[in-house]
Amino acid sequence: MLCFVIVEIGVVGAEGYLVLQAEKEAKRAEHVKEIIAKTNHLVQVCYDTGTAVMEYAKSKDEAQSARYMQNRRQTTEILSWLKDALKEDPENLAILNRVDANLQVGMTTMDKIKNAVDTQPLLVAIRYGYTEKNKLQPTFDALVRDLLSLVRAQRKIEEESPNAQRSQRESQKAILLAGLVLNVVLAFAGAGWFTRQLTSRLDVLVENTKRMKRGDELNALLSGHDEIAALDSTFHEMAYTLRLKEELLRESEARVRAIIEKVPVGLVIFSDEGKIEFVNSTLAMMFARDRETLIGEPIANLVARSQTTSDVEIASQLKEKASERVSEITCVRNGSEKFPVEFSVTVFETEEGTRRLGILLDVTERQEIQRMRQAFVSMVSHELRTPLTAVSAFISLLEMGAFGEVSREATEQAGRAEANVARLMKLISDLLDLEKMDSGTLNVSKAKCQLQKILDSVDEASRPFAEGKGIKLEIDSVNGHDDSLYADEDRLVQVLVNLISNAVKFSPPEGTVRVSHKLDDEVVELRVCDQGRGVPAKYKELIFERFQQVDVSDAKQKGGTGLGLAICKTIVEMHDGHIAVDSEEGQGSTFWFRIKRHQN
């Protein structure tokens, strides 16, 4: 092996040396060509410079002057380049120095000719130019001779280059042939040794593969730093990582199984045909059954149904009703006990095909709490209304003097008490509406109605309150246009009265609240504009939520429960509409809502 390496290094070294020499010779030949080209260009530029200055002397054409100056610069640049290129060649550099001296003489003479043309009469300048040109001729001849001598020297080098390159190529061929013969001899010698070494090490890898498949311990690591040793090391690391991942997978599976078993909702996996394949312990307890008895049963057995509905129909209904959303169904326990369940289905794929995961949550307790809350709110609301109505009536009679004359202070206190009673009555009404919203029983009875009639009802209900606060209320009329729409008239009046009430509360003294509308063939839009303090941007969405007000002190200073806008939002959305506010802080607000005029 060492002999093979030494031979290869020798062959490569010799070949590399010859390649470097060839590259050097090629660069030298290219350099010579470039010198010849530059020298020829210099001759051409010198001639063109003389021509340009003589043409300028005849015509005083500025283009010829520019041409002369450009050629003069090029002459200096080319000469500088040639000197740099031949700085290692003393003989040719001496020629260039003579060329430089002659060029300086020629350029100086031509500068004088140009200066004479610029400053002397034309005939005098021309006569002077021809005289100086004749004097310059020997210098120009010497310049041309030197440049031609330089070109001949470079061409001689150029002619010798192919022979040198040919000799180097012959040497390369000889070295390559010798190296090829040695490589063939050494390759046959080393192949046998390498094959024996490789085969024995590959046998170890094959054996480790079989051991890994059986789960046995692997052979000891192979020695060395070659690719097979690295592969064997990687194989050992892979086997260790695989065993570690198997352990982690078993632990993860155990954790997931524990979570599935302990999760407080029932889980059931069933096939497309509706056969139960898995249930967790929560679901088994929910239906008071053993898990083993549930496996294989139709999922329809868990649902309350009529005797005429088949298992397949029930499974299909469940998949359609609860797929990717939560639906409430009635399930049956112990064959007769019915209870409500929130049920949703998610589809997933397995190797056996499509399966569905059903999630069941027993909502019996939640529904009972809801029922109790509704009963409590209803009872409290009705029980409070009766005494509050009596108190309100008593205070009204007291203010009117039905029980004798009372003092001014007592009248004022009675007025404040009556306002508080009215606020409590409003709170009770809002609580009842809120409960209806939560329970889904807030009714919207849509029918054909007239927008003008709605606006008249709003005017009748809101104007006394607005005038009592010193606020001017303006409500635009329909003016004879078709104003029919399909909606709940009373609920829309409720929304507008609520919006006007808020606008009045937050309007400045002697301010104006304006109610306007916009009708088209499809939509009606109603707007309530005030001149109040406005709504900050961060509250524009928040104020339509329950118990939300811009300032916490508003409940005491302005009255209100923080429920009115939430109820308005619910009513508008039940009309398939949208409600919002346009406002800038300190510049008033415009609350508006938009609903469809006709039934879909």
Which residues partner with 583 through β-bridges?
Answer: 589
Half-sphere exposure in the Cβ direction for 310 (13 Å, CA): 4
More confident residue, 540 or 163: 540
d(CA 578, CA 595): 7
Residue 54 belongs to what H/E stretch?
Answer: helix 2-59
User: Among the listed ranges 127-131, 261-265, 573-577, which one has the minimum average pLDDT value?
Assistant: 127-131
Domains of the chain: 2-185 (1.20.120.1730), 263-362 (3.30.450.20), 368-436 (1.10.287), 444-596 (3.30.565.10)
CA–CA distance, 37 with 59 (Å, rounded to integer): 32
What is the DSSP pairing of strand 523-529 with strand 578-583? unpaired
Q: Is 358 within 8 Å of 343 (Cβ atoms)?
A: yes
How high is the pLDDT of residue 513? 92
Residue 131: name the closest of 145, 142, 120 by CA.
120
Strand 589-596 with 523-529, pairing:
antiparallel
Structure tokens belonging to residue 187: 């390759």
Judged against a pLDDT cut of 90, whether residue 555 lies above it is answered with no
**Contact call for residues 336 and 351 (beta carbons, < 8 A):** no
Tens digit of each residue's pLDDT (9 = 90 or more) over 350-404 = 888 888 888 888 888 888 877 777 777 667 666 666 676 777 777 777 777 666 7
- pLDDT exceeds cutoff 60 at 485: yes
The rounded Cα 328 to chain-centroid distance in angstroms is: 38
Identify the pLDDT of residue 337: 87
Q: Residues 452, 493: contact at Cβ < 8 Å?
A: no
Supply φ then ψ for residue 400, to 5 degrees.
-80, -5
444 vs 291, higher pLDDT: 291
Residue 166 pLDDT more than 60?
Answer: yes
Res 553: pLDDT: 46
CB hemisphere CA count around 492 (13 angstroms):
33
Cα(90)–Cα(438) distance, integer angstroms: 107
Q: How far apart are CA 157 and CA 33, in angstroms?
A: 10
CA distances from residue 60 to 48, 51, 110 in whole angstroms, order as listed: 16, 13, 14
Higher-scoring residue by pLDDT: 210, 580: 580
User: What's the token pair of residue 508?
Assistant: 């400045």
Structure-block tokens of residue 289 = 């059954």
Distance between CA atoms of residues 123 and 449, nearest Å: 113
Please tell me which residue, 28 or 593, carries the higher pLDDT value.
593
Q: How far apart are CA 414 and CA 402, in angstroms?
A: 13
Q: What is the CA radius of gyration of the chain?
A: 53
| DSSP 8-state code for residue 217 | P
Query: Do residues 591 and 527 touch, judged by C-beta distance below 8 A?
Result: yes
The partner residues of 519 in beta bridges, in order of sequence, read: 524
Most trustworthy range by pLDDT among 68-72, 350-354, 433-437, 579-583: 579-583
pLDDT at 526: 93
Question: Are the beta carbons of 346 and 372 closer than 8 angstroms?
Answer: no
Taking the alpha carbons at both ends of the chain, their separation in whole angstroms is 92
Q: How far apart are CA 326 and CA 38, in angstroms?
A: 89
Where is 328: in which H helix or E strand? strand 327-333
What is the separation of C-alpha 367 from the centre of its chain, rounded to a whole number of angstroms?
43
Burial of residue 276 (CB within 10 Å: 0-12, 13-18, 19+) is buried
Length of the chain: 600
